[in-house]
Structure 1
Amino acid sequence: MDTYYYIEQIQKMLAEASKLPFSNKIVIDHDKILQLLDELIKSLPEEIKKSRKILEERQNILLEAQREGEMIIKEAKEYIEKMVDQNEIIKLAKEKSEEILTNAKKTAREIRVGANKYADEVLEELENQLQKILQSVRKGREELNNKL
């Protein structure tokens, strides 16, 4: 189940709980809240797996960009070697290879920056979700401890 579902269930349980007369304390089913907290904890690894998958995708994008860049450089070098004997063609080939190399480096840099930005955004969202979950769990525990 979704992590948010368990949080919502805990919030609902707390909101609908009976209040003790002349106090701000409430009565909740101890076993049920513990069960919901257990389920909440079980649901967390999915979120963590998602972040790990995103990091792996980022790494794959970076590796693919580097491979593509190396392939372009290799092709440019091979092209230059074939044209060694012809003076004007050599000049044009060097210019073209430098242009290709510059573009490859620029593309690899852009992909790397984009992948890093995407991974950071996803991790930031995951961090925010986990903070909300932790805050909810702390609040639930605090309320449980206040009843003791």
Structure 2
Amino acid sequence: MEVYDYIEQLQNLISESSKIPFSNKVIVDQEKILTLMDEMVKALPEDIKKAKKIIEERQRILVEAQKEGEMIIKEAKEHIEKMVDQNEIMKTAREKSEELLAASKKAAREIRVGANKYADEVLEQLEKHLEKILASVKKGREELNQRM
């Protein structure tokens, strides 16, 4: 179960608890709250593992893009070397290799930017999710401390 589900359960438990007359306070089952919070703490490492996998995937994509870019550059250089002997062919080869080099650099840059953007979006979502969890946990603790 994800941490978000535990937070929903906590919210439901609080909203369904008996209210104290003439106040906005409720009586909650401390054991249920603490059990849910323990489960939430156990689920956090899974969310962190997911974030780590996303970062590793981003790194793999970046390495792959770099290798692909290097391969394209190598192929362009090899292509140029084969055509060096003939003057007109050499001129054409240089132009094409520059185009290939520019295209490969652009493609590698776009892949890198896309991978970074994707990783940033996923990490941003995880950050927001963890902030919500932390806020819920703090609120729950504050309410528990107010009842003591």
Q: TM-score range by the shorter chain?
A: over 0.9
1:81 Cα deviation from its structure 2 partner: 1.2
Q: Aligned equivalents of 1:4 and 1:62: distance in 2?
A: 31
- Residue matched to 1:120: 120
> Aligned letter for 1:128?
K
Could you list the per-position Cα deviations for residues 80-128 of structure 1 after superposition, in whole angstroms to 9, with x for gaps in the alignment? Answer: 1111211111111111111100000000111111111111111111111
Segments of structure 1 that go 5 or more residues without pairing to the other structure are none
- Residue matched to 1:78: 78
- Residue matched to 1:28: 28
Show the 5 A alignment for 1:29-44.
29-44=29-44
> Aligned letter for 1:96?
K
1:21 Cα deviation from its structure 2 partner: 3.3
1:2 Cα deviation from its structure 2 partner: 1.8
Identity %: 70
- Residue matched to 1:105: 105
Could you list the per-position Cα deviations for residues 62-86 of structure 1 after superposition, in whole angstroms to 9, with x for gaps in the alignment? Answer: 1111101111111111111111211
Name the SS for the 1:104 alignment partner.
helix
1:129 Cα deviation from its structure 2 partner: 0.6
- Residue matched to 1:4: 4
- Aligned partners of 1:72 and 1:104 also within 8 Å: yes
1:17 Cα deviation from its structure 2 partner: 1.2
- Residue matched to 1:16: 16
CA RMSD for the aligned pairs?
Answer: 1.1
Structure 1 residue ranges, 4+ long, deviating more than 6 angstroms after superposition: none
Could you list the per-position Cα deviations for residues 18-57 of structure 1 after superposition, in whole angstroms to 9, with x for gaps in the alignment? Answer: 1233433322111111110010111111211111111111
Segments of structure 2 that go 5 or more residues without pairing to the other structure are none
Count of paired positions: 148
* TM-score (norm: length of structure 1): 0.95
Q: Aligned equivalents of 2:86 and 2:110: distance in 1?
A: 35
Q: Aligned equivalents of 2:56 and 2:144: distance in 1?
A: 39
- Aligned partners of 1:25 and 1:147 also within 8 Å: no
- Residue matched to 2:88: 88
Q: Aligned equivalents of 1:4 and 1:30: distance in 2?
A: 20
The answer to whether structure 1 residue 45 and structure 2 residue 45 are counterparts is yes
